[in-house]
Amino acid sequence: MDGQQFQDAPEAAVDELPVTEWETIEIELLIEGIYLAYGHDFRHYLRSSLRRRIRNRMYQDGAATVTELLGKVLHEPGYVNKLVNDFSIKVTEMFRDPSFFKAFRERAVPLLGKLPEIRIWHAGCSTGEEVYSMAILLQEEGLLDKAKIYATDMSEHAIEQAKAGKFPLKRMQTFTRNYMQAGGTKEFSAYYSTDRDYAIFNRSLAEHMMFAQHNLATDSTFNEFHVVLCRNVMIYFNPELQDRVHRLFHDSLTDDGILGLGSMEYLIAPWKQHYEELADGERLFVKKAINA
Amino acid sequence: MLRAIKFNIKTKIAIGYFLILVCLGASILAVTDRIEALQNEVETITSRDVEVHNLIASIQFDAISMETAQRGFIITGDSNYLEPYDKGKAQWESNYNSLYNYISDNPSTQKELEEIKLMIQEWISKAAEPTIAMKKEDRSADIIAFFQNDIGKRQMDSLRTKFESIGSQEVQSTRLHIVDLENKNRILTVGIYVLLLAATIISLMIVSFVSSSIVKTIKQVVRTITEIASSGGDLGTRIAVNTKDEIKELADATNQLLSSLEAQSWVQAKVAEVATMTQGINDLEILARTFLTKVAPMVNASYGVFYIRRGTGEQQRLEKLASYAGTGEDAGKVSFRMGEGLVGQCALEKRVFLLNHPKEQAPLITTGLVQLEPNSILMVPISYEDRLEAVIEFASIQSFTSQHLKLLEEIEKDFGIAVNNVAGRMEVERLLSESQVLTEELQMQQEEMRMTTEHLEEQYLVAEQKTKELEKAKEELEDYSEQLKKSSQYKTNFLANMSHELRTPLNSILILSQLLAENENRTLNDDEEGYANVIHTSGTDLLKLIDDILDLSKIEAGKVVLTVDEVNLTEIPELMKLTFNPIAEKREIAFTIDLAGDLPDVWHTDGQRLQQILKNLLSNAFKFTENGSVHLQIESAGDEMLAISVTDTGIGIPKDKQKLIFEAFQQVDGKTNRLYGGTGLGLSICSEFVRLLGGYIRLDSTVGEGSCFTIYLPELSQEKLDSIQLAIQESAAAAEQHAESAVSEEAEDEHEAFPADIHSGGSDFAGKKVLLVEDDARNVFALVRALENKKMQVTVAGNGRRCMEILQDNTDFDLVLMDIMMPLMDGYETMREIRKLSKLQEMPIIALTAKAMKSDRDKCLEAGASDYISKPLQMDQLFSLMRVWLTKQVGH
B571-615 pLDDT per residue, tens: 888 888 887 888 888 888 888 888 888 888 888 888 878 888 888
> Residue B474: is its pLDDT beyond 70?
no
Q: What is the 3-state secondary structure (H, E, C) of B475-509?
A: CHHHHHHHHHHHCHHHHHHHHHHHHHHHHHHHHHH
| pLDDT, position B557 | 65
> Residue B405: is its pLDDT beyond 50?
yes
Averaged pLDDT, B120-126 = 81
Measured distance CA(B583)–CA(B565) in Å, rounded: 29
For chain A, the maximum distance between any two Cα atoms, rounded to a whole number of angstroms, is 63
Class of residue B370 by CB neighbours under 10 A (exposed 0-12, middle 13-18, buried 19+):
exposed
Contact B444 A188 (CB under 8 A): no
Nearest CA distance, A43 vs chain B (angstrom): 17
Give tens-digit pLDDT for B745-784: 433 333 333 333 333 334 478 888 999 998 877 778 778 8
Using the Cβ of B890 and the Cβ atoms of chain A, whether some distance falls under 8 Å is answered with: yes
| pLDDT, position B453 | 80
Averaged pLDDT, B217-243 = 75
Residues 576-635 of B with CB under 8 A from A: none
Domain B761-886 has CATH 3.30.460.80: no
For residue A190, list chain B residues with Cβ-Cβ distance below 8 A: 877
Answer yes or no: is the ipTM higher than 0.85: no
Using the Cβ of B879 and the Cβ atoms of chain A, whether some distance falls under 8 Å is answered with: yes
For residue A90, list chain B residues with Cβ-Cβ distance below 8 A: 444, 447
> Of B61, B130, B52, whose CA–CA distance to B92 is shortest?
B61
At residue B658 the predicted structure's pLDDT band, cuts being 50, 70 and 90, is confident
Measured distance CA(A145)–CA(A140) in Å, rounded: 11
For strands B629-638 and B641-648, give the pairing.
antiparallel
| pLDDT, position B418 | 82
State how far Cα B534 lies from the chain centre.
94
Contact A169 B884 (CB under 8 A): yes
| pLDDT, position B233 | 62
Nearest CA distance, A203 vs chain B (angstrom): 15
Query: Which of A172, A188, A236 has its CB closest to that of B437?
Result: A236
Instruction: Please give the angle made by the CA atoms of A218, A224 and A228, to the nearest 5 degrees.
Output: 70
> Residue B356: is its pLDDT beyond 80?
no
Query: Which of A89, A170, A263 has its CB closest to that of B888?
Result: A170
| pLDDT, position B496 | 59
Measured distance CA(A13)–CA(A55) in Å, rounded: 10
Q: Which of A14, A177, A196 is most worth mutating to test chain B (most B CB atoms within 10 A of its CB)?
A: A196
For strands A253-261 and A225-230, give the pairing.
parallel
Measured distance CA(A153)–CA(A125) in Å, rounded: 6
Give tens-digit pLDDT for B264-320: 888 888 888 888 887 777 778 888 888 888 888 888 887 888 888 887 777 788 888
Instruction: Please give the angle made by the CA atoms of A14, A15 and A16, to the nearest 5 degrees.
Output: 95
Residue B316 DSSP class? -
pTM value is 0.50
Nearest CA distance, A19 vs chain B (angstrom): 16
Counting residues of chain B whose pLDDT is more than 90, the rounded percentage is 2
For residue A169, list chain B residues with Cβ-Cβ distance below 8 A: 763, 883-884, 887
- Nearest-10 Cα torsion for B142, B148, B149, B154: 120
CA distances from B204 to B18, B28, B249 (A): 13, 18, 28
Lowest mean pLDDT among B262-266, B338-342, B731-735, B785-789: B731-735
Contact B429 A52 (CB under 8 A): no
Lowest mean pLDDT among A62-66, A259-263, B156-160, B640-644: B156-160
| pLDDT, position B763 | 45
Lowest mean pLDDT among A167-171, B4-8, B46-50, B59-63: B4-8
Query: Which of B283, B876, B887 has its CB closest to that of A172?
Result: B887
Hey, which of A2-16, A176-190, B789-803 has the most confident mean pLDDT?
A176-190
Using the Cβ of A173 and the Cβ atoms of chain B, whether some distance falls under 8 Å is answered with: yes
Averaged pLDDT, B555-581 = 79
State how far Cα A190 lies from the chain centre.
27
Contact A169 B763 (CB under 8 A): yes
At residue A13 the predicted structure's pLDDT band, cuts being 50, 70 and 90, is very low
At residue A15 the predicted structure's pLDDT band, cuts being 50, 70 and 90, is low
> Residue A135: is its pLDDT beyond 90?
yes
Give tens-digit pLDDT for B836-860: 888 888 889 999 887 667 777 888 8
Contact A174 B891 (CB under 8 A): yes
| pLDDT, position A4 | 39
Residues 184-243 of A with CB under 8 A from B: 185-190, 192-194, 196-197, 199, 232, 235-236
Hey, which of A165-174, A231-240, B711-720 has the most confident mean pLDDT?
A165-174
Nearest CA distance, A89 vs chain B (angstrom): 6
At residue A9 the predicted structure's pLDDT band, cuts being 50, 70 and 90, is very low
Averaged pLDDT, B319-326 = 78
Query: Which of A53, A176, A268 has its CB closest to that of B867?
Result: A176
Q: How many CB atoms lie within 10 A of CB A230?
A: 23
Contact A176 B883 (CB under 8 A): no
Which CATH architecture does the domain made up of A98-287 adopt?
Answer: 3-Layer(aba) Sandwich (3.40)
CA distances from B640 to A120, A202, B2 (A): 87, 80, 134
Hey, which of A143-157, B26-40, B486-500, B545-559 has the most confident mean pLDDT?
A143-157
Alpha helices (H) in A153-277, listed in sequence order: 156-164, 169-181, 203-206, 239-252, 269-272
At residue B325 the predicted structure's pLDDT band, cuts being 50, 70 and 90, is confident
- Nearest-10 Cα torsion for B465, B466, B470, B476: -10
Give tens-digit pLDDT for B804-828: 888 888 888 999 999 888 877 888 8
Nearest CA distance, A291 vs chain B (angstrom): 22
For strands B769-773 and B793-797, give the pairing.
parallel
| pLDDT, position A136 | 94
> Residue A197: is its pLDDT beyond 80?
yes
Using the Cβ of A248 and the Cβ atoms of chain B, whether some distance falls under 8 Å is answered with: no
> Residue A132: is its pLDDT beyond 90?
yes
Crossing angle for the helix pair B875-886 and A169-181, to the nearest 10 degrees: 110
Using the Cβ of B426 and the Cβ atoms of chain A, whether some distance falls under 8 Å is answered with: no
Averaged pLDDT, B90-108 = 80
Which CATH architecture does the domain made up of B565-716 adopt?
Answer: 2-Layer Sandwich (3.30)
Instruction: Please give the angle made by the CA atoms of B52, B53 and B54, to the nearest 5 degrees.
Output: 90
Query: Which of B433, B444, B878 has its CB closest to that of A264?
Result: B433
Nearest CA distance, B354 vs chain A (angstrom): 32
Query: Which of A174, A197, A232 has its CB closest to that of B892?
Result: A174
Nearest CA distance, B855 vs chain A (angstrom): 9
| pLDDT, position A12 | 42
Measured distance CA(B192)–CA(B199) in Å, rounded: 10
Averaged pLDDT, B196-222 = 82
Contact A189 B883 (CB under 8 A): no
Give tens-digit pLDDT for A247-278: 999 999 998 899 999 887 888 777 888 888 88
- Nearest-10 Cα torsion for B720, B724, B727, B731: 180
Query: How many CA atoms, within 13 angstroms, populate the side-chain half-sphere of residue B452?
Result: 7
| pLDDT, position A94 | 92
| pLDDT, position B503 | 66
Q: How many CB atoms lie within 10 A of CB B253?
A: 12
Q: How many CB atoms lie within 10 A of CB B619?
A: 17
Lowest mean pLDDT among A281-290, B223-232, B699-708, B875-884: B223-232
Using the Cβ of B435 and the Cβ atoms of chain A, whether some distance falls under 8 Å is answered with: yes
Using the Cβ of B454 and the Cβ atoms of chain A, whether some distance falls under 8 Å is answered with: no
Mean pLDDT (chain B) is 78
For strands A275-277 and A284-287, give the pairing.
antiparallel
Class of residue B130 by CB neighbours under 10 A (exposed 0-12, middle 13-18, buried 19+):
middle
| pLDDT, position B746 | 39
For strands B769-773 and B815-819, give the pairing.
parallel
Q: How many CB atoms lie within 10 A of CB B431?
A: 12
Cα dihedral across residues B348, B349, B354, B358: positive or negative: negative
> Of B165, B398, B198, whose CA–CA distance to B296 is shortest?
B398
At residue B740 the predicted structure's pLDDT band, cuts being 50, 70 and 90, is very low
Query: Which of B285, B440, B884 has its CB closest to that of A173?
Result: B884
> Residue A32: is its pLDDT beyond 90?
yes
> Of B653, B696, B699, whose CA–CA distance to B676 is shortest?
B653
Q: Which residues on neighbouring strands pair with residue B869, listed in sequence order?
A: B848
Query: Which of A174, A269, A270 has its CB closest to that of B889?
Result: A174
Q: Where are the beta strands (DSSP E) in B282-368?
A: 303-310, 317-324, 335-337, 353-356, 365-366
> Residue B678: is its pLDDT beyond 60?
no
Measured distance CA(A265)–CA(B430) in Å, rounded: 9
Contact B437 A49 (CB under 8 A): yes
At residue A134 the predicted structure's pLDDT band, cuts being 50, 70 and 90, is very high
For residue A16, list chain B residues with Cβ-Cβ distance below 8 A: none
Q: Where are the beta strands (DSSP E) in B242-340?
A: 303-310, 317-324, 335-337
> Any idea where the domains of chain B sit in the sequence?
9-212, 279-435, 488-555, 565-716, 761-886
> Residue B162: is its pLDDT beyond 90?
no
Which of residues A117 and B825 earns the better pLDDT score? A117
DSSP sequence for A100-156: HHHHIIIIIHHHHHT-SSEEEEEET-TTSHHHHHHHHHHHHTT-GGGEEEEEEES-H
Nearest CA distance, A186 vs chain B (angstrom): 7
Nearest CA distance, A269 vs chain B (angstrom): 6
Which CATH architecture does the domain made up of B279-435 adopt?
Answer: 2-Layer Sandwich (3.30)
Mean pLDDT (chain A) is 86
At residue A218 the predicted structure's pLDDT band, cuts being 50, 70 and 90, is confident
> Of A199, A155, A195, whose CA–CA distance to A174 is shortest?
A199
For strands A192-194 and A198-201, give the pairing.
antiparallel
Using the Cβ of B286 and the Cβ atoms of chain A, whether some distance falls under 8 Å is answered with: yes
Coil, helix or strand at residue A259: strand
| pLDDT, position B743 | 41
Hey, which of A217-231, B73-87, B141-155, B555-569 has the most confident mean pLDDT?
A217-231
| pLDDT, position B501 | 67
